[in-house]
Chain A
Amino acid sequence: MELTLWTYEGPPHVGAMRIASSMKDIHYVLHAPQGDTYADLLFTMIERRGQRPPVTYTTFQARDLGGDTAELVKKNIKEAVERFKPKTLLVGESCTAELIQDQPGALAKGMGFDMPIVNLELPAYSKKENWGASETFYQLTRTLLKEKVSSSEKISPLRWKELGRRPKVNILGPSLLGFRCRDDVIEIQRILSEQGIDTNVVAPLGASPDDIERLIDAEINICLYQEIAEASCEWLKRNFGMEYTNTIPIGIKNTIEFINEVHNKLDLPLTNKEELEHKSKLPWYSKSVDSNYLTGKRVFIFGDGTHAIAAAKIAKDELGFEVVGLGTYSREMARQVRATAKELNVEALITNNYLEVEDAMKKAAPELVLGTQMERHSAKRLGIPCSVISTPMHVQDVPARYSPQMGWEGANVIFDDWVHPLMMGLEEHLIDMFKHDFEFVDGHQSHLGHTATETKDLINSDDKKDNNPKEGIIWTESGRAELTKVPFFVRGKVKTNTEKFAILRGILEISDETLYDAKAYFN
């Protein structure tokens, strides 16, 4: 049993709903009690969808449990098939139905329908949302293509040459409730098309079962989000020989590497290599003198595996930040996140507990947080600027304007989205600096409002979770005064370091000089 106050991921059947809702001509019969219908609002409210998710909930009640819940399942399947006439039917159960073991998938298969039926077994007590989405997409692909496995030869990435046409690829992984998937797909298709590469199928977003059956018309697969598509890409590789890409095109370097990887796999000459460096404004914006102040900005990153890793690389290599924390809630991608963290000399935080993330954030004393909607709240409480880079998200993270994360435009969006909160952070700093001037209007605030931590709170706070060894140490008047002059966003860090230094040296009273001694020591 695990105490959870808030969870980054929903249960695995919500992942299945993400696949079903992303696609056309699919219906999902979910053996579940009435309360599980809450999941519809994730799609209709957060994504502002104008269609209901294609899901029928069997809505069994306590009084049905003594009777025949299997009959109820069959009745709902029959009605759903008659009403929605899906081309493929997904059948599964949520956590409670898993316990009563009606095996709805097997029941559906015994009902004599012509359409393919995918039996989804998603263990609700051990797995989570992204795993459920990945498994559903995999089972669906497998069900719709397994008959073609034996009859088809292995697909060569060079087949397009024999066929005398442009190379074709599939873009796999984008789904509803994924981060900016809608726009990433457009950006990637545009980039591929400029390189003379056609998109065969995008799936699951916008695809129908017919499109899934057409996947093998392409030469290779683009695995755009490993969390969702890697299992399917791997199956397509094993059974049809289709190669797939590993580079996630977020940031300039990775976008160029992605284009290279696609060209290499297809054996397509890359003719516009120099041009690629100038496709996005990010490199110049980052180089322009105004961005000098970005150098060494301390950034804390937490999100899904794909976006957290990409953010860490951009932060370090393309914006010149210092990554002071990196973590993910995607246990499936823990290994990769750990590897990236090691390269950056930080310890990876792999957790589903947002309070642990907040604690780590506090300790790292960053100047910018890149995270999910929950890190936005934590950062707000700590008075640190934040930009959202990953699901789970809020309705405001689904903007009306075109705002991809991937490709050239994605890099532009990232520059703006990460740097603007810092500009405002700088404004906060200036307000802090000038607040003793007589022109200063009392109560003047930046966008951060009252949330930024006051020095006196920092000094007086007796956080019992903070294992800071500060017993017996006193801050003198001059020490306190000096600490208030430190910019608010590093004040916590300076305080901790100074106390650490004082203990190390056996200093009992911290004066302004101790502060400077500590500063020199830690430099």
Chain B
Amino acid sequence: MSKVEFNKEAGPREVFCGLTSIVWLHRRMPDAFFLVVGSRTCAHLIQSAAGVMIFAEPRFGTAILEEKDLAGLADAHEELDRVVNDLIARRPEIKTLFLVGSCPSEVIKLDLATVAEKLNNRFLGQVRFVNYSGSGIETTFTQGEDGALKALIPLMESSNEEKLLLVGTLANNVEDRFKKIFGNLGISNVESFPPRQSTELPKIGKNTKVLLTQPYLSETVRDLKHRGCEIISAPFPLGIEGSTEWFLAAAKAFKISELKVHEIISPLINRAKLALESHKEILKGKRLFLLPESQLEISLARFLHNECEMDLIEVGTPYLNKELMKEEINLLPDNTKIVEGQHVEKQLDRVRESNPDLVVCGMGLANPLEAEGISTKWSIEMVFSPIHGIDQAADLAGLFSKPLKRNQILTSKTLVTH
């Protein structure tokens, strides 16, 4: 392991809670509905994070707790029952209903597992119910996906068939690319989790080899191991280097030679390197500060340093699973400063002191930092854009070069700055 500096920090934070992950999960599984059991704050959070909703009826909603639910005047379980009945009557096409716990439902100890079990019995063969917590007292942003996937594992049937299982939500086009490349490598039995339809869950067992596409799935990994799956240790498929190592690790698990892998992906690498050039020109030597939010920060730091030659000031992450991130940390330059957790005020002090060229941060902080003359990139874009794989390396770099390029255009002498 390289000599990386680990720090922990606690204090006021500026991050989303796990409910936010519903925004991409519901798009991945169009036959599922996510019902948050929470407050008006939860409803407002999801609609604000999702931006303007342009669809008639979204496949997520909130059962808002009211005074009478809390005062015990109404039985919260019965109330939830009623809401679910109404919902299913209105949306008969729903195949899986996620009951998502929130901060208030966790604090009043609403037993969503029991509710889900009862509903499963009643709607047997029509709708499946699973529950998990996306509460901000337990989860940060992407950890919501970890909870949702973990909740689906008990529904996955067992099979000893040999297969490669890609775990973590991917953009559909990226998933198709990956499957094609694995096919070329000779791995043809490739499935994804979460699947595109909530009812088409992959079967798993001792011959399932799990390759993670996202770094924030600690709990899911643990449960997949319990089901006998083999976890392939690899960095994450962000950038050319990460993706190459990721393909190599998969190939090794399937006893496919390194030579074969290089033969297949070399043309892709050459093409990607060419595409990366113009972005590297802008990013090279620029100093980067990553604030914690998505848990993608360490992989992004590795890519932006190793392939785009940026200098790393600080790499924040809301949560660090050293075991899962082992391969990534090994690829980081010596003396990289990793900070787990957050004290947002102290961290912003460090941002200002270190005078970075680019800060990766949440939407609440981006404009205020821009107003101070610091270029920013919103971290939420990483979870909505197709950024995985060799072919996407230049697009990924583009997310970071664009604000710098824009800054160059706007601060040129044709415009007055203030």
From the candidates A13, A57, A125, name the one contacting B67 in the complex (CB within 8 A). A125
Question: Which of these binds chain A: B8-16, B281-289, B302-310, B385-393?
Answer: B8-16
Q: Which of B57-87 contact A (CB under 8 A)?
A: 57-58, 60-67, 69-70, 74, 76, 79-80, 82-83, 86-87
> Quick check: is B339 within 8 A (CB to CB) of the other chain?
no
Interface centre among B39, B57, B138 (most CB of A within 10 A): B39
Question: Which of these binds chain A: B121-129, B363-371, B407-415?
Answer: B363-371
Q: Which of A1-39 contact B (CB under 8 A)?
A: 1-7, 9-11, 13-14, 33-39
Interchain CB contact under 8 A, B87 and A3: yes
From the candidates A1, A33, A48, A126, name the one contacting B74 in the complex (CB within 8 A). A1
From the candidates A1, A14, A49, A60, name the one contacting B367 in the complex (CB within 8 A). A49
Across-interface contacts of B364 in A (CB, < 8 A): 37-38, 40-41, 44, 52
Question: Which of these binds chain B: A95-103, A158-166, A221-229, A410-418?
Answer: A95-103
Across-interface contacts of A37 in B (CB, < 8 A): 13-16, 362, 364
Across-interface contacts of B260 in A (CB, < 8 A): none
Instruction: For the complex formed, measure the closest distance between the CB of A99 and the CB atoms of chain B, giving whole angstroms.
Output: 5
Interchain CB contact under 8 A, A373 and B52: yes
Interchain CB contact under 8 A, A96 and B48: no
Across-interface contacts of A3 in B (CB, < 8 A): 61-64, 83, 86-87
Complex: A79 Cα to B12 Cα, angstroms = 10
Across-interface contacts of A9 in B (CB, < 8 A): 40
Among residues of B, the one whose C-beta sits closest to the C-beta of A41 is: B363
Interchain CB contact under 8 A, A33 and B40: no
Interchain CB contact under 8 A, B367 and A33: no
Interchain CB contact under 8 A, B49 and A1: no
Question: Which of these binds chain A: B99-107, B232-240, B263-271?
Answer: B99-107
Interchain CB contact under 8 A, A355 and B57: yes
Across-interface contacts of A128 in B (CB, < 8 A): 40
Instruction: For the complex formed, measure the closest distance between the CB of A480 and the CB atoms of chain B, giving whole angstroms.
Output: 27
Across-interface contacts of B83 in A (CB, < 8 A): 1-3
From the candidates B39, B58, B135, name the one contacting A6 in the complex (CB within 8 A). B58
Interchain CB contact under 8 A, A96 and B107: yes
> Quick check: is B43 within 8 A (CB to CB) of the other chain?
yes
> Quick check: is A76 within 8 A (CB to CB) of the other chain?
yes
> Quick check: is A94 within 8 A (CB to CB) of the other chain?
yes
Across-interface contacts of B52 in A (CB, < 8 A): 373, 377, 394
Interchain CB contact under 8 A, A59 and B11: yes
> Quick check: is A236 within 8 A (CB to CB) of the other chain?
no
Q: How many residues of B contact A (CB 8 A)?
A: 64
Interchain CB contact under 8 A, B14 and A40: yes
Complex: A2 Cα to B87 Cα, angstroms = 11
Complex: A448 Cα to B371 Cα, angstroms = 36
Complex: A65 Cα to B47 Cα, angstroms = 28
Known: A3-B86, A50-B371. A79 touches B345 (CB 8 A): yes
Interchain CB contact under 8 A, A38 and B49: yes
Interchain CB contact under 8 A, A124 and B13: no
Interchain CB contact under 8 A, B368 and A65: no
Interchain CB contact under 8 A, B67 and A123: yes
Instruction: For the complex formed, measure the closest distance between the CB of A102 and the CB atoms of chain B, giving whole angstroms.
Output: 12
Interchain CB contact under 8 A, B65 and A1: yes
Q: Mark B220-235, 1 if CB is under 8 A from A, else 0.
A: 0000000000000000
Across-interface contacts of A123 in B (CB, < 8 A): 67
Instruction: For the complex formed, measure the closest distance between the CB of A55 and the CB atoms of chain B, giving whole angstroms.
Output: 9
Q: Which of A52-66 contact B (CB under 8 A)?
A: 52, 56-62, 65
Interchain CB contact under 8 A, A6 and B43: yes
From the candidates A1, A4, A96, A126, name the one contacting B82 in the complex (CB within 8 A). A1
- How many A residues touch the partner, as a band? 35 or more
Complex: A52 Cα to B371 Cα, angstroms = 10
> Quick check: is A461 within 8 A (CB to CB) of the other chain?
no
Known: A65-B137, A124-B39. A99 touches B66 (CB 8 A): no
Instruction: For the complex formed, measure the closest distance between the CB of A59 and the CB atoms of chain B, giving whole angstroms.
Output: 5
> Quick check: is B136 within 8 A (CB to CB) of the other chain?
yes
> Quick check: is B54 within 8 A (CB to CB) of the other chain?
yes
Interchain CB contact under 8 A, B363 and A45: yes
Across-interface contacts of A288 in B (CB, < 8 A): none
> Quick check: is B41 within 8 A (CB to CB) of the other chain?
yes
Complex: A96 Cα to B39 Cα, angstroms = 9
Across-interface contacts of B103 in A (CB, < 8 A): 33, 35, 95-96
> Quick check: is B259 within 8 A (CB to CB) of the other chain?
no
Known: A3-B86, A33-B136. A96 touches B58 (CB 8 A): no
Among residues of B, the one whose C-beta sits closest to the C-beta of A60 is: B137
> Quick check: is B243 within 8 A (CB to CB) of the other chain?
no
Across-interface contacts of B362 in A (CB, < 8 A): 37, 41
Interchain CB contact under 8 A, A126 and B66: yes
Complex: A377 Cα to B52 Cα, angstroms = 9
Interchain CB contact under 8 A, A41 and B48: yes
Interchain CB contact under 8 A, A124 and B40: yes
Among residues of B, the one whose C-beta sits closest to the C-beta of A30 is: B12
Q: Mark A64-81, 1 if CB is under 8 A from B, else 0.
A: 010000000000100100
> Quick check: is A83 within 8 A (CB to CB) of the other chain?
yes
Q: Mark A282-324, 1 if CB is under 8 A from B, else 0.
A: 0000000000000000000000000000000000000000000
> Quick check: is B416 within 8 A (CB to CB) of the other chain?
no
Interchain CB contact under 8 A, B108 and A1: no
Interchain CB contact under 8 A, A4 and B64: yes
Interchain CB contact under 8 A, B57 and A83: no
Interchain CB contact under 8 A, A1 and B66: yes
> Quick check: is A426 within 8 A (CB to CB) of the other chain?
no
Complex: A14 Cα to B39 Cα, angstroms = 13
> Quick check: is B96 within 8 A (CB to CB) of the other chain?
no
Interchain CB contact under 8 A, B76 and A1: yes
Across-interface contacts of B80 in A (CB, < 8 A): 1
Complex: A473 Cα to B107 Cα, angstroms = 56
Complex: A83 Cα to B18 Cα, angstroms = 29
Across-interface contacts of B66 in A (CB, < 8 A): 1-2, 125-126
**Listed A/B pairs (28) with beta-carbon separation below 8 Å:** A1-B65, A1-B76, A3-B64, A4-B62, A7-B44, A7-B47, A33-B103, A33-B136, A34-B13, A34-B15, A35-B103, A35-B135, A36-B136, A37-B362, A38-B20, A38-B48, A40-B14, A41-B48, A44-B364, A48-B367, A50-B371, A59-B11, A59-B12, A100-B107, A125-B39, A125-B70, A358-B56, A373-B52
**Interface of B toward A, CB cutoff 8 Å:** 11-20, 38-41, 43-45, 47-49, 52-54, 56-58, 60-67, 69-70, 74, 76, 79-80, 82-83, 86-87, 103-104, 106-108, 135-138, 140, 345, 362-368, 370-371
**Interface of A toward B, CB cutoff 8 Å:** 1-7, 9-11, 13-14, 33-42, 44-45, 48-52, 56-62, 65, 76, 79, 83, 94-96, 99-100, 123-126, 128, 355, 358, 373, 377, 381, 394
Additional pairs, 7, CB under 8 Å, beyond known A34-B13, A50-B367, A59-B11: A2-B66, A4-B62, A38-B48, A40-B365, A49-B367, A79-B345, A128-B40
Closest 7 CB pairs of A and B: A35-B17, A50-B371, A35-B136, A40-B364, A1-B79, A96-B103, A33-B136
